[in-house]
């Protein structure tokens, strides 16, 4: 099969028309194909479907009237600044506030170490842009965040997955993978990890493993990219200590207000050693000139005037109730042979269906029964994940979650009988 027919089929598979521009795209556009999550959105957003697919934060729980007043006040009082271009590194006051947020995870950093980005997604894009040449290896947990895999593919990185268990990334597997890659002469640029309440697996990297992962990466000269949008959404106890807290030179930390406030502001950040920070600012400016001053000041104003720690606490309680609804109904309803993770925070459960079943094949039948999930294959760059699926509990109400699990359990039971 030629490259061209392959592209044409990819386009067709995602429902678009025949692509007449195929022979003109840059090579890097080869990796730009719609993710399975994205192809699903249209179907899963129909009201009769219980969507356990998307990972949307429940922003309805915010005091929206307060946010509205704050935004109106911002325009009235500081309009000429808020509606103007801003600096490439981001609003200095917001960067100070970001340092205060990161202190909750043991990170000591100053505003000059931080670069504000358009969500942490842009930070991921910029990091990949400044480190990856085509063919360079990025290590990522298997499974990993679909948006990061899309970015890595867009820059023609070669993603090698490192397995996890219920305590997160397995250090001995990381070490073995690095040894094998070194033997093959492959250049590993960074390890991409989501240590807390991982997307999609829902697991958390155990405290003793954090030290091991850092040591292994230090020894191998591999940078760690720590992506931590869910770290403050743990259901028990204090937030885990960030990897970055113990290795300021070896870790680039990515944070976001998308889950602790609202994704619509599109405010995230990267905390990086100064040499990397300088490159990030330049790459940021060439991508978007400056990010939205308006959004940054609105988030800054929210943090300065609102009880944001209390708000995060109430998000935690809300998501904990939904996690409980999902786990108890999985326990009660799923047929034998199904296994799933038990997240202590965040948005996601990762479920494995019995041998012989294929989650992608189940999906159309599940949608016909008015429930949606994300098949596991989208969370891998290789062929893994056929028996897995991501179930998210962040958005639907507990009753809807229970109903969704009931429908899904019925579909899986039927599949097992086939």
> Which residues lie near ligand PMP (CB under 6 A)?
55, 119-121, 145, 147, 194, 199, 227, 229, 256, 258, 263, 268
CB atoms within 10 A of CB 294: 19
| 354 preceded by a cis bond (ω within 30 of 0) | no
| Residue whose C-beta lies closest to ligand PMP | 119
CB of 107 to ligand PMP, least distance (A): 17
Minimum distance from residue 307 beta carbon to ligand PMP (Å) = 22
Own/partner pairs, 326-333, CB within 8 angstroms, 24+ separation: 326/52, 326/391, 326/393, 326/401, 326/405, 329/401, 329/402, 329/405, 329/406, 330/405, 330/409, 333/405, 333/406, 333/409
- What DSSP assignment string belongs to 288-329? HSS--HHHHHHHHHHHHHS-HHHHHHHHHHHHHHHHHHHHHH
Shortest gap between Cβ of 267 and ligand PMP (angstroms)?
Answer: 8
Q: Residue 22 or 280: which CB sits closer to ligand PMP?
A: 280
Shortest distance in whole angstroms from residue 354 CB to ligand PMP: 28
What is the C-alpha to C-alpha distance for residues 177 and 380, in angstroms, rounded to an integer?
Answer: 16
Question: Shortest gap between Cβ of 319 and ligand PMP (angstroms)?
Answer: 14
* Distance in Å, CB of 223 to ligand PMP, minimum: 17
Kindly tell me which of 117 and 359 has the beta carbon lying closer to ligand PMP: 117
Pick the closest to residue 137 from 85, 178, 166 (CA basis): 178
Toward ligand PMP, which CB reaches closer, 387 or 390?
390
Compare residues 129 and 406 and give the one whose CB is closer to ligand PMP: 129
- The helix/strand/coil state of 272 is coil
Q: For residues 143 and 263, which CB has a smaller minimum distance to ligand PMP in the complex?
A: 263
Q: What are phi and psi of 305, to 5 degrees?
A: -115, -15
Nearer to ligand PMP, 194 or 344 (CB): 194
């Amino acid at each position: 099969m030629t490259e061209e027919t392959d592209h044409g089929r990819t386009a067709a598979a995602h429902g678009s028309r025949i692509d007449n521009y195929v022979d003109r795209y840059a090579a890097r556009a080869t990796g730009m194909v719609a993710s399975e999550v994205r192809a699903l959105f249209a179907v899963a957003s129909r009201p009769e479907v219980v969507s356990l697919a998307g990972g949307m934060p429940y922003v309805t729980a915010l005091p929206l009237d307060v946010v509205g007043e704050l935004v109106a006040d911002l325009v009235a009082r500081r309009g000429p600044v808020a509606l103007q271009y801003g600096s490439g590194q981001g609003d200095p006051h917001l960067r100070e506030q970001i340092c205060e947020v990161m202190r909750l995870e043991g990170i000591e950093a100053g505003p000059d170490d931080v670069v504000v980005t358009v969500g942490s997604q842009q930070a991921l894009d910029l990091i990949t842009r400044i480190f990856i040449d085509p063919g360079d290896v990025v290590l990522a947990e298997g499974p990993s965040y679909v948006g990061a895999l899309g970015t890595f593919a867009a820059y023609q990185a070669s993603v090698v997955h490192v397995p996890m268990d219920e305590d997160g990334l397995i250090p001995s597997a990381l070490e073995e993978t690095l040894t094998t890659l070194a033997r093959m002469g492959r250049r590993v640029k960074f390890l991409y990890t989501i240590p807390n309440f991982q997307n999609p697996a829902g697991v958390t990297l155990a405290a003793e493993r954090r030290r091991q992962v850092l040591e292994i990466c230090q020894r191998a000269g591999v940078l760690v990219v720590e992506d931590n949008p869910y770290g403050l959404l743990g259901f028990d106890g204090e937030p885990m200590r960030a990897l970055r807290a113990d290795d300021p030179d070896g870790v680039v930390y990515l944070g976001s207000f998308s889950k602790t406030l609202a994704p619509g502001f599109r405010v995230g950040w990267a905390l990086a050693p100064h040499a990397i920070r300088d490159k990030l600012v330049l790459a940021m400016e060439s991508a978007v000139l400056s990010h939205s001053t308006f959004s940054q000041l609105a988030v800054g104003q929210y943090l300065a005037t609102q009880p944001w720690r209390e708000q995060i606490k109430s998000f935690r309680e809300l998501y904990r109730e939904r996690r409980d609804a999902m786990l108890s109904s999985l326990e009660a309803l799923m047929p034998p042979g199904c296994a799933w993770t038990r997240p202590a925070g965040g948005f996601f459960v990762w479920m494995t269906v019995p041998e012989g079943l294929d989650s992608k094949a189940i999906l159309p039948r599940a949608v016909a029964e008015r429930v949606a999930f994300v098949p596991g294959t989208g969370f891998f760059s290789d062929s893994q994940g056929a028996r897995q699926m991501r179930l998210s509990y962040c958005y639907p109400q507990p009753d809807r979650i229970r109903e969704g699990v009931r429908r899904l359990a019925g579909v899986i039971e039927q599949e097992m009988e086939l």
